[in-house]
Amino acid sequence: MEYVPYIVIAFFLFLILQRALPTKGVRQLSTTELKKELKNKDKQFIDVRTPGEFNGNHIKGFTNIPLHQLSQKGDQELSKEKEVIVICQSGMRSQQASRKLKKMGFTKVANVKGGMSAWH
């Protein structure tokens, strides 16, 4: 019984690390690499921030699908044949979105590291 607090702490650390670590099979893009990708018409560019954040500042060519709507709209608005490049403000929500897209059956997914905060 004296080990229970340590097990609980270890479990919570595992959950935190699991959210922070890159998802297996998701390509990690820098904003410099993103600039080169933006010209490619065979890619889909998704911004998972809120509509307010998106309307305040966004990259031309990105479509706004807020993270909480991705499960419903993803299958309707995105092709599983094309790579999906995902961005948010800091890279955390886009990481969650990338994980969600992989679970939905998308095989080609990329996450923009640092998000809009790293965009120049």
- Kindly report the number of other CB atoms within 10 A of residue 43's CB atom: 15
| Whole-number Å distance between alpha carbons of 7 and 101 | 31
Catalytic residue among 46, 48, 67, 88, which?
A: 88
- Taking phi first (over 0 means left), then psi (-120 to 50 degrees means alpha), and beta for anything else, what does residue 63 get? beta
Strands (E), the chain: 26-29, 43-47, 63-64, 83-87, 109-112
Q: Is there a catalytic annotation at residue 70?
A: no
**Cβ(45)–Cβ(63) under 8 Å?**
yes
Catalytic (active-site) positions: 88
